[in-house]
Amino acid sequence: MPNTFFSFKSFTVHQDRCAMKVTTDGALFGAWVASRTQSAEQLLDVGAGTGILSLMIAQSGSGTIDAIEVESTCHQQLCDNIVSSEWSDRIHPIHADFNSFEPQKKYDCVVSNPPFHRDQLSSTNPSTNLARHDTGLTIQELLKKSSTLVTPTGRLFVLIPYYRTEEIIACARQLNWQLASSVFVQQTPKHAYFRTFLEFEMQKTTEVLSSSILIKDEKDAYSPEFIALLRPYYLAF
């Protein structure tokens, strides 16, 4: 049974009321996004869940974050996690369906660890399906809606399964999102890539950056790249 909470250096994420728990790849994605959004002033976390991405971004930067979550029980946990953190004045939980969300402002960055599985075996738990499978919010809907919510220089960060990388890059291009950077994630050198971090821009200004990260090396120790990104957050480092 998953732990009911996950303790970081500067905050604790309770997760007993959310179908999507804290995962290693999710925390790694949060650290990567946080390192690339420190100067952003207005951010939107789509499908915020427990609030882990919002909390990591708030720790690293000084911007204001709107955290939107559609599932009511998980939204209440999101609120509790935010209130108990030191950044409750900068993270604003919102209970709403992203597709009908109409804010009165534009965002510098949209970030999301979305429900990203497609044509995979589903759970008998509706909340789990909503959190893990794109039956409630598709990647295409995320890309399209996000393009209307950002400033002209806005950026979008998404965590996706590796097998959907090319499909999603192609879909994003049709909606005027330009690929800025990608990171391919492996569990160990013996494993194939299983996650991809993508950064898109509305206005492409630089060449595409591409890299890869190992979570653990051949000796089953955390890799230097993993440690460098998670050091500000993980108690173990």
Whether pLDDT at 127 is above 60: no
Please give the residue that has the higher pLDDT: either 196 or 136.
196
| Token code pair at residue 170 | 């192609």
Q: What is the mean pLDDT of residues 2-19?
A: 93
Q: Hey, what long-range contacts does 77-82 have (CB within 8 A, 24 or more apart)?
A: 77/14, 77/15, 77/16, 77/17, 77/18, 77/50, 78/18, 78/48, 78/49, 78/50, 78/51, 80/14, 81/11, 81/12, 81/13, 81/14, 81/50, 81/51, 81/55, 82/51, 82/54, 82/55
Strands in 178-186's sheet, in edge-to-edge order, are 91-95, 64-69, 42-46, 107-112, 150-161, 193-201, 178-186, 209-214
Residue 99: what pLDDT? 95
Cβ atoms of 157 and 36 within 8 Å: the answer is yes
Residue 204: what pLDDT? 76
Whether pLDDT at 133 is above 60: no
Residue 116: what pLDDT? 72
pLDDT band at 117 (very low <50, low <70, confident <90, very high): low
pLDDT band at 123 (very low <50, low <70, confident <90, very high): very low
Which domains are seen in the chain, by residue range?
Answer: 5-219 (3.40.50.150)
Q: What is the mean pLDDT of the chain?
A: 92
pLDDT tens, position by position, 201-217: 998 767 899 999 999 99
Residue 125: what pLDDT? 46
Cβ atoms of 181 and 206 within 8 Å: the answer is no
Q: What is the mean pLDDT of residues 151-159?
A: 97
**Alpha-carbon torsion 77, 83, 87, 88, what sign?**
positive
pLDDT tens, position by position, 59-107: 999 999 999 999 999 999 999 999 999 999 999 999 999 999 999 999 9
Nearest alpha-carbon partner for 53 in 36, 39, 70: 36
Task: Report the half-sphere exposure of 143 (CA within 13 A, side-chain side).
Answer: 24
| Token code pair at residue 85 | 């953190």
pLDDT band at 121 (very low <50, low <70, confident <90, very high): very low
Coil, helix or strand at residue 226: helix
Neighbours of 27 (CB within 10 A): 21
Residue 119: what pLDDT? 53
Whole-angstrom Cα distance, residue 7 to residue 13?
A: 6
Q: Which helix (H) or strand (E) holds 25?
A: helix 24-36
Q: What is the mean pLDDT of residues 166-181?
A: 96
**Range of 119-133, 196-210, 219-233 with top mean pLDDT:** 219-233
Q: What is the mean pLDDT of residues 142-166?
A: 97
Whether pLDDT at 144 is above 50: yes
